[in-house]
Amino acid sequence: MALRPILTYPDSVLKQRAAAVSCIGADVVRLIDDMTETMYAAPGVGLAATQVGVGQRVVVLDVHDEDESAGKRLLKLINPEIVEREGTIVWEEGCLSVPDLTAPVTRARRVLVRAWTPEEREIEVEGEELLAVALQHEIDHLDGKLFLDRLSRLKRDLYRARQRKLGRQGRKGTGGTRPVLI
């Protein structure tokens, strides 16, 4: 396993739609292992392959409770697709690829996702609230969308202006306090 660099906005790779995985081989398993290590090290609760520069439809998620005694609940999903959506919820989101920004985003409260596992089993994952939000957030990444794209134009423009200013000063985002990053 190896840590992979996480791409950040405005990297153009983040805007590209990922291709479906046609064969679950050793390379995909290695990618999933690397993504898992990278996600936990970041730390985040989800990571899409596009965020590490790989254009394949692969995500890892772990939205375990804050109570560490509950243990990790790692999901490794290949070719995930949302097959049902229900209700709405507003959640304060952050993103490893969009540093120093959190904002409320409206999403479906419950989703049903169909995907494949590294063991080549088709599964369905039903998620509510945080898990539903995280699933939608990561699948958005696979479709070339950032949570930034779901914000008002004003908020997007303010964020972009702040990032340009930091870039001109030769600095990146500060990182600051770490919210839950999806």
Instruction: Encode pLDDT of 7-23 as tens digits.
Output: 999 899 999 999 999 99
Domain boundaries, the chain: 12-168
CB atoms inside a 10 Å sphere around CB 146: 21
Query: Could you give the CA distance from residue 155 to residue 158 in angstroms, rounded to a whole number?
Result: 5
CA distances from 36 to 17, 39, 136, 164, 170 (A): 21, 5, 18, 31, 30
pLDDT higher than threshold 60 for residue 177: no
| Residue 138 appears among annotated catalytic residues | yes
- Residue 164 pLDDT: 81
Query: Poorest-confidence range of 25-29, 32-36, 66-70, 147-151?
Result: 66-70
- Residue 159 pLDDT: 86
Rounded to 5°, the CA angle 92-98-104 comes to: 15
Confidence of residue 175 (pLDDT cuts 50, 70, 90): very low
Do the beta carbons of residue 52 and residue 36 sit within 8 Å? no
In CATH terms, the fold of domain 12-168 is Peptide Deformylase (3.90.45)
Out of 66, 92, 119, 138, which one is annotated catalytic? 138
- 149-159 in b/e form (b: 16+ CB < 10 A) is ebbeeeebeeb
CA-wise closest residue to 13 among 42, 58, 44, 54: 54
- Residue 14 pLDDT: 97
pLDDT higher than threshold 60 for residue 157: yes
- Residue 173 pLDDT: 52
Summarize the confidence of residues 66-76 as an average pLDDT.
Answer: 69
SS3 118: coil
- 14-23 in b/e form (b: 16+ CB < 10 A) is beeebeebee
- Residue 141 pLDDT: 98
CA 114 to chain centre: 17
- Residues 90-133: pLDDT tens digits? 999 999 999 888 999 999 999 999 999 999 999 999 999 999 99
Confidence of residue 181 (pLDDT cuts 50, 70, 90): low
- Average pLDDT of the chain? 90
